[in-house]
Amino acid sequence: MRKRLASLNANTLGILCLVGALGCLTISDSIIKWVSDDMPLHQITFWRSCFAMLAVLVIVQLEGGMVRLKTSRPALHLLRGSMLVLANMFFFVGLAAMPLAETVVLFYTAPLFICILSQPVLGEKVGLRRWFVIVVGMLGAIVMLRPGSDVFRMVSLLPVMAALCYAAMTLMTRKLGIRESGGALTFYIQIAFLLISVLSGWVVGDGKFDVYDNQSLHFLLRAWFWPSLAQLQLLLLCGLIVGFGGYLMSQAYRLGEAPIVAPFEYASLPFALLVGYYLWGDWPDWPAFVGTGLIISSGLLVMYLENRDQKKALRQAPIDL
């Protein structure tokens, strides 16, 4: 009985951590979109990770100090970080050439990938009702996307690839989270971002490869330059938010079961709609509202079903003496 109560609390905490993380990451994405007209992706990633490390080191100290960073699986940490770096790269490169709504909706295939992979990779049960609410959420994404000839371009595959990389990252988080702290998970993510951004800057930072008339490639291959004070301030804010949001994200999948937590990835949509309207005046039309309703309903439904199952199990369980 006590074990079931602990499981319920862990899943609830995981969901709350995920929703908080998505709010932080939405603000971070908005800042990146704001500065992306001038700065290359590898430079944004470098400065963001430098500043994010400040927040991460504070979190590590609160969790017990640098000793908490000791790990016996550095290769898995690096692979997990690389998956998140690739997810970011695919997402932001796609965003440079696609409307924001289409990019976000296609990225919402991530929870589906998580649910598909969680049973063979983690051995976690994915029940029919959970599949149902995921399908409802995906139907909402399709309503928002409104597939047509302009949607299914090659560039449209980039957010889907980002979703697949992100799903792989979350499953690795679940594996590592059994033994690793949330601070350590976030620390090694930022190390991966720093290493890959420095390597990318070393290879393409002089702009010699920026010879293509393509918006996405221009964002990837643009020359490195020293940012202005205003840009550094934005990147500082972005980095601190990412550090805290990354910690919450690591905690979400470390504490909760992937099939239960994953549907709440859709909570980033209302955050994105509010920020998009406030900063850029973007407001969705009625099909977007219908899709949003389906997506949010799926998340609320999975919470209701999970809580109902837990309460039913508690009522039927024998009393521990």
Calpha distance 111→117 (Å, rounded): 10
Inform me whether the pLDDT recorded for 202 exceeds 70.
Answer: yes
Residue with more model confidence, 235 or 172? 235
Query: What is the reported pLDDT for 151?
Result: 46
Residue with more model confidence, 178 or 250? 250
Q: Are 87 and 165 in contact (CB under 8 A)?
A: yes
| DSSP per-residue string spanning 36-90 | TTTS-HHHHHHHHHHHHHHHHHHHHHHTT-GGGG--S-HHHHHHHHHHHHHHHHH
Determine what percent of the chain falls in helix, strand and coil, rounding each to the nearest 5.
80, 0, 20
Among the listed residues 92, 46, 311, the one whose alpha carbon sits nearest the alpha carbon of residue 190: 46
Calpha distance 128→108 (Å, rounded): 20
Confidence label for 104 from pLDDT (cuts 50, 70 and 90): confident
Query: What is the reported pLDDT for 285?
Result: 66
> Terminus-to-terminus CA distance in the chain, angstroms?
10
Token look-up 């149902």 returns 132
If you average pLDDT over every residue of the chain, what do you get? 76
Residue with more model confidence, 110 or 85? 85
Confidence label for 247 from pLDDT (cuts 50, 70 and 90): confident
Query: What is the reported pLDDT for 192?
Result: 86
Confidence label for 284 from pLDDT (cuts 50, 70 and 90): low
Confidence label for 320 from pLDDT (cuts 50, 70 and 90): very low
Calpha distance 162→155 (Å, rounded): 12
Residue with more model confidence, 30 or 199? 199
Q: Are 134 and 297 in contact (CB under 8 A)?
A: no
Q: Which of 4-8, 25-29, 36-40, 69-73 has the lowest mean pLDDT?
A: 4-8
> Please, what sign has the CA dihedral across residues 94, 249, 266, 128?
positive
> How many Cβ atoms are within 10 Å of 305's Cβ, its own excluded?
16
What's the mean pLDDT in 126-140?
75
Q: Are 265 and 22 in contact (CB under 8 A)?
A: yes
Confidence label for 317 from pLDDT (cuts 50, 70 and 90): very low
- Report the Cα 196 to chain-centroid distance in Å: 18
Residue 218 backbone dihedrals phi, psi, to 5 degrees: -65, -40
Residue with more model confidence, 3 or 136? 136
Query: What is the reported pLDDT for 308?
Result: 63
Inform me whether the pLDDT recorded for 211 exceeds 70.
Answer: yes
Confidence label for 135 from pLDDT (cuts 50, 70 and 90): confident
Query: What is the reported pLDDT for 99?
Result: 67
Calpha distance 256→253 (Å, rounded): 5
Query: What is the reported pLDDT for 106?
Result: 74
Q: Retrieve residue 310's tokens.
A: 């837990």
Calpha distance 238→249 (Å, rounded): 16
pLDDT tens sequence across 50-61: 888 888 888 778
Q: Retrieve residue 206's tokens.
A: 């002089």
CA 154 vs CA 113, 151, 161: distances in Å: 20, 9, 11
What's the mean pLDDT in 214-238?
85
What's the mean pLDDT in 40-44?
89
3-state secondary structure of 151: coil
